[in-house]
Protein backbone atom coordinates (compact mmCIF):
# COMPACT_ATOMS: atom_id res chain seq x y z
CA UNK A 1 0.00 0.00 0.00
CA UNK A 2 1.53 3.30 -1.06
CA UNK A 3 1.73 6.27 1.25
CA UNK A 4 -0.83 8.19 -0.82
CA UNK A 5 -3.36 5.35 -0.63
CA UNK A 6 -2.71 5.03 3.11
CA UNK A 7 -3.37 8.75 3.62
CA UNK A 8 -6.60 8.57 1.63
CA UNK A 9 -7.74 5.57 3.65
CA UNK A 10 -7.00 7.30 6.95
CA UNK A 11 -8.74 10.43 5.71
CA UNK A 12 -11.81 8.43 4.73
CA UNK A 13 -11.92 6.76 8.13
CA UNK A 14 -11.69 10.14 9.86
CA UNK A 15 -14.51 11.54 7.72
CA UNK A 16 -16.72 8.56 8.54
CA UNK A 17 -15.89 8.86 12.24
CA UNK A 18 -16.70 12.55 12.20
CA UNK A 19 -20.02 11.89 10.46
CA UNK A 20 -20.88 9.29 13.11
CA UNK A 21 -20.06 11.73 15.91
CA UNK A 22 -22.18 14.44 14.31
CA UNK A 23 -25.14 12.17 13.57
CA UNK A 24 -25.01 10.19 16.79
CA UNK A 25 -24.07 12.84 19.32
CA UNK A 26 -23.86 16.44 18.12
CA UNK A 27 -27.18 16.67 16.28
CA UNK A 28 -29.31 14.90 18.92
CA UNK A 29 -27.62 16.91 21.69
CA UNK A 30 -27.43 20.42 20.28
CA UNK A 31 -30.05 20.48 17.49
CA UNK A 32 -32.77 18.30 19.01
CA UNK A 33 -35.47 20.97 18.73
CA UNK A 34 -35.22 20.93 14.94
CA UNK A 35 -36.53 17.36 14.88
CA UNK A 36 -39.39 17.66 17.38
CA UNK A 37 -42.97 18.61 16.52
CA UNK A 38 -45.66 19.39 19.08
CA UNK A 39 -49.39 19.13 18.28
CA UNK A 40 -52.51 19.73 20.36
CA UNK A 41 -55.06 16.92 20.53
CA UNK A 42 -58.47 18.31 21.45
CA UNK A 43 -60.86 16.01 23.28
CA UNK A 44 -64.43 17.26 23.90
CA UNK A 45 -65.69 16.44 27.38
CA UNK A 46 -69.42 15.95 27.90
CA UNK A 47 -71.13 17.45 30.96
CA UNK A 48 -74.67 17.62 32.25
CA UNK A 49 -74.89 21.36 31.62
CA UNK A 50 -75.43 22.59 28.05
CA UNK A 51 -76.83 26.07 28.85
CA UNK A 52 -73.55 27.95 28.59
CA UNK A 53 -71.47 29.03 25.61
CA UNK A 54 -70.23 26.41 23.18
CA UNK A 55 -66.85 25.96 21.50
CA UNK A 56 -66.48 25.49 17.75
CA UNK A 57 -63.48 23.33 16.85
CA UNK A 58 -61.24 23.75 13.78
CA UNK A 59 -63.19 21.05 11.92
CA UNK A 60 -66.43 23.00 12.39
CA UNK A 61 -67.97 20.72 15.01
CA UNK A 62 -69.44 22.27 18.15
CA UNK A 63 -68.82 21.31 21.79
CA UNK A 64 -71.98 22.34 23.62
CA UNK A 65 -70.52 21.58 27.04
CA UNK A 66 -67.91 24.32 26.64
CA UNK A 67 -65.28 21.98 28.03
CA UNK A 68 -62.18 20.58 26.32
CA UNK A 69 -59.50 18.19 27.48
CA UNK A 70 -56.20 19.22 25.90
CA UNK A 71 -53.70 16.45 25.25
CA UNK A 72 -50.31 16.82 23.60
CA UNK A 73 -48.71 14.77 20.84
CA UNK A 74 -44.91 14.88 20.56
CA UNK A 75 -43.12 13.58 17.47
CA UNK A 76 -39.36 13.09 17.24
CA UNK A 77 -38.47 12.64 13.57
CA UNK A 78 -34.82 11.85 14.24
CA UNK A 79 -33.93 8.12 14.34
CA UNK A 80 -32.20 8.56 17.72
CA UNK A 81 -33.33 10.09 21.04
CA UNK A 82 -32.79 13.86 21.18
CA UNK A 83 -31.93 16.02 24.17
CA UNK A 84 -34.09 19.07 24.86
CA UNK A 85 -33.29 21.70 27.47
CA UNK A 86 -36.03 24.09 28.56
CA UNK A 87 -37.12 26.43 31.33
CA UNK A 88 -40.25 26.47 33.44
CA UNK A 89 -43.15 24.04 33.31
CA UNK A 90 -43.04 20.95 31.11
CA UNK A 91 -46.46 21.49 29.50
CA UNK A 92 -48.49 24.63 28.96
CA UNK A 93 -51.69 25.59 27.15
CA UNK A 94 -52.94 29.11 26.41
CA UNK A 95 -56.04 30.65 24.91
CA UNK A 96 -55.46 34.02 23.28
CA UNK A 97 -57.26 36.51 21.10
CA UNK A 98 -55.38 36.62 17.76
CA UNK A 99 -56.53 40.21 17.19
CA UNK A 100 -54.81 41.52 20.34
CA UNK A 101 -51.13 40.71 19.94
CA UNK A 102 -49.01 41.10 23.03
CA UNK A 103 -51.98 40.94 25.39
CA UNK A 104 -52.03 38.51 28.29
CA UNK A 105 -53.64 35.12 27.60
CA UNK A 106 -57.35 34.88 28.31
CA UNK A 107 -56.71 31.49 29.89
CA UNK A 108 -53.60 29.47 30.58
CA UNK A 109 -52.60 26.40 32.53
CA UNK A 110 -49.30 24.63 33.21
CA UNK A 111 -48.72 20.97 34.01
CA UNK A 112 -45.55 19.31 35.24
CA UNK A 113 -43.97 16.10 33.99
CA UNK A 114 -43.60 13.79 37.01
CA UNK A 115 -40.95 11.72 35.21
CA UNK A 116 -38.45 14.59 35.14
CA UNK A 117 -35.76 14.95 37.75
CA UNK A 118 -35.64 17.85 40.19
CA UNK A 119 -35.23 21.13 38.36
CA UNK A 120 -32.20 23.36 38.88
CA UNK A 121 -32.68 27.08 39.27
CA UNK A 122 -30.76 29.14 36.73
CA UNK A 123 -29.18 32.54 37.50
CA UNK A 124 -32.21 34.23 35.93
CA UNK A 125 -34.54 32.49 38.37
CA UNK A 126 -36.11 30.18 35.78
CA UNK A 127 -36.32 26.45 36.25
CA UNK A 128 -33.81 24.76 33.95
CA UNK A 129 -34.60 21.19 32.88
CA UNK A 130 -33.46 18.58 30.39
CA UNK A 131 -35.54 15.82 28.80
CA UNK A 132 -34.65 12.99 26.43
CA UNK A 133 -37.29 12.41 23.74
CA UNK A 134 -37.35 9.01 22.05
CA UNK A 135 -37.88 8.59 18.29
CA UNK A 136 -41.43 8.35 17.01
CA UNK A 137 -44.70 9.78 18.27
CA UNK A 138 -46.02 9.75 21.82
CA UNK A 139 -49.27 11.12 23.18
CA UNK A 140 -49.40 12.73 26.60
CA UNK A 141 -52.84 12.77 28.19
CA UNK A 142 -52.21 15.95 30.15
CA UNK A 143 -55.90 16.78 30.28
CA UNK A 144 -56.48 14.13 32.92
CA UNK A 145 -54.01 15.91 35.20
CA UNK A 146 -55.45 19.40 34.91
CA UNK A 147 -54.99 20.72 31.36
CA UNK A 148 -58.69 21.20 30.70
CA UNK A 149 -60.39 24.28 29.29
CA UNK A 150 -63.76 24.70 31.02
CA UNK A 151 -65.64 27.88 30.12
CA UNK A 152 -67.87 27.44 33.16
CA UNK A 153 -64.87 27.54 35.50
CA UNK A 154 -63.19 30.73 34.24
CA UNK A 155 -64.29 34.38 33.97
CA UNK A 156 -66.76 34.96 31.10
CA UNK A 157 -65.15 34.97 27.65
CA UNK A 158 -66.78 37.09 24.95
CA UNK A 159 -67.98 35.29 21.80
CA UNK A 160 -65.45 35.42 18.98
CA UNK A 161 -62.40 33.83 17.44
CA UNK A 162 -59.52 32.60 19.60
CA UNK A 163 -56.29 30.63 19.30
CA UNK A 164 -55.33 27.65 21.42
CA UNK A 165 -51.65 26.80 21.62
CA UNK A 166 -49.78 24.13 23.55
CA UNK A 167 -46.12 24.00 24.53
CA UNK A 168 -44.16 20.90 25.51
CA UNK A 169 -40.65 21.14 26.92
CA UNK A 170 -40.35 24.69 25.62
CA UNK A 171 -41.38 23.76 22.06
CA UNK A 172 -44.55 25.50 20.90
CA UNK A 173 -47.08 23.83 18.64
CA UNK A 174 -49.00 25.58 15.88
CA UNK A 175 -51.97 27.64 17.12
CA UNK A 176 -55.33 25.93 16.75
CA UNK A 177 -58.25 28.24 15.84
CA UNK A 178 -61.33 28.00 18.04
CA UNK A 179 -64.51 30.02 18.28
CA UNK A 180 -66.65 30.67 21.33
CA UNK A 181 -70.36 31.05 20.62
CA UNK A 182 -72.96 32.35 23.05
CA UNK A 183 -75.68 29.94 24.14
CA UNK A 184 -78.41 29.66 21.50
CA UNK A 185 -76.46 31.72 18.94
CA UNK A 186 -75.72 28.83 16.57
CA UNK A 187 -72.35 28.39 14.89
CA UNK A 188 -72.21 31.45 12.70
CA UNK A 189 -68.68 32.22 13.88
CA UNK A 190 -66.36 29.51 12.65
CA UNK A 191 -62.57 29.22 12.89
CA UNK A 192 -60.43 29.16 9.80
CA UNK A 193 -59.78 25.46 9.06
CA UNK A 194 -56.26 24.36 9.91
CA UNK A 195 -54.53 21.04 10.45
CA UNK A 196 -55.41 19.60 13.86
CA UNK A 197 -56.17 16.31 15.52
CA UNK A 198 -59.73 15.82 16.72
CA UNK A 199 -60.71 13.03 19.06
CA UNK A 200 -64.39 12.11 19.60
CA UNK A 201 -65.85 12.80 23.05
CA UNK A 202 -65.08 10.33 25.78
CA UNK A 203 -68.55 10.51 27.28
CA UNK A 204 -67.38 11.61 30.69
* Number of helical (H) and strand (E) elements in the chain, helices listed first: 2, 15
Q: Where is 33: in which H helix or E strand?
A: none
Q: Are 130 and 84 in contact (CB under 8 A)?
A: yes
Weakly modelled stretches of the chain, pLDDT under 70: 1, 3-30, 47-50, 117-127, 142-146, 184-204
pLDDT at 164: 94
pLDDT at 136: 93
pLDDT at 196: 44
pLDDT at 143: 55
Q: What's this model's pTM, rounded to 2 decimal places?
A: 0.74
pLDDT at 113: 83
**Residue 143 region, left (φ>0) first, then alpha (ψ -120 to 50), else beta?**
alpha
b/e sequence 58-87, b meaning 16+ C-beta within 10 Å:
beeebbbbbbbbbbbbbebebeeebebebe
pLDDT digits (tens, 9 = 90+) for 36-56: 999 999 888 876 655 778 899
Q: Are 109 and 164 in contact (CB under 8 A)?
A: no
Q: Which residues pair with 36 in a beta bridge?
A: 76
pLDDT at 63: 86
Amino acid sequence: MTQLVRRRLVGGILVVALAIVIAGWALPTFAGRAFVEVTARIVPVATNSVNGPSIVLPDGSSVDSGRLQIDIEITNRYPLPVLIDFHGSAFRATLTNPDTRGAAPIWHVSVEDPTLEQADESPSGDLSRVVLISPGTSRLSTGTSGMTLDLAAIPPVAPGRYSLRVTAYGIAGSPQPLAIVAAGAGTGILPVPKRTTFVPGNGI
